Amino acid sequence: MSNQNLIRCIIVDDEPLAVTLLAQYVEKVPGLVVTLKTTHVLEALSVVEQGSADLIFLDIQMPELSGIQFMKIIGNRCKVILTTAYTDYALQGYEHDVVDYLLKPFSFDRFMMAIVKAKERLEQKPASAMKEVADHIFIKTEYRIQKIDHDAILYIEALRDYIALHTPSAKVLSLESMKNMEATLPASVFIRIHKSYIINRNKIEFLDRGKVVINGQYLPVGETYKEKFMAQIGII
pLDDT at 9: 96
Q: What phi and psi, each to the nearest 5 degrees, are found at residue 24?
A: -65, -40
Q: In the chain, list all ranges with CATH 3.40.50.2300.
A: 3-127
- Identify which of 100, 81, 120, 109 has the alpha carbon closest to the alpha carbon of residue 25: 109
**What is the rounded distance in angstroms from the CA atom of residue 11 to the CA atom of residue 26?**
9
Q: What is the CA angle 49-81-103, rounded to 5? A: 140
Strand ranges (E), the chain: 7-12, 32-38, 55-59, 79-84, 100-103, 136-140, 145-149, 155-158, 163-166, 171-174, 190-194, 197-200, 206-208, 211-214, 217-220
**What is the rounded distance in angstroms from the CA atom of residue 72 to the CA atom of residue 58?**
13
**What is the rounded distance in angstroms from the CA atom of residue 115 to the CA atom of residue 70?**
21
pLDDT at 2: 42
Give the number of other CB atoms < 10 A from CB of residue 30.
7
pLDDT at 26: 95
pLDDT at 133: 52
7-12 vs 55-59, strand pairing mode: parallel
**What is the rounded distance in angstroms from the CA atom of residue 116 to the CA atom of residue 85?**
22
Q: What is the CA angle 125-151-179, rounded to 5? A: 85
Class for domain 136-232, per CATH?
mainly beta
**Helix (H) or strand (E) segment spanning residue 45:** helix 41-49
**What is the rounded distance in angstroms from the CA atom of residue 71 to the CA atom of residue 90?**
14
**What is the rounded distance in angstroms from the CA atom of residue 168 to the CA atom of residue 175?**
21
- Select the CATH number that applies to the domain covering 3-127 from these four: 2.20.25.10, 3.40.50.2300, 3.30.70.270, 2.30.42.10: 3.40.50.2300
Q: How far is CA 168 from CA 171, 203, 233, in A?
A: 8, 11, 23
Contact 164, 173 (CB under 8 A): yes
pLDDT at 88: 60
Taking only the tens of pLDDT, the chain with its 236 residues reads 445 578 999 999 989 999 999 999 999 999 999 999 999 888 888 888 888 899 999 988 887 777 888 888 887 889 999 888 876 654 454 555 788 888 888 999 999 999 999 999 888 754 443 344 568 888 888 888 889 999 999 999 999 889 999 999 999 999 888 988 988 888 889 999 999 999 999 999 999 988 999 999 999 999 999 988 888 887 75
Q: In the chain, list all ranges with CATH 2.40.50.1020.
A: 136-232
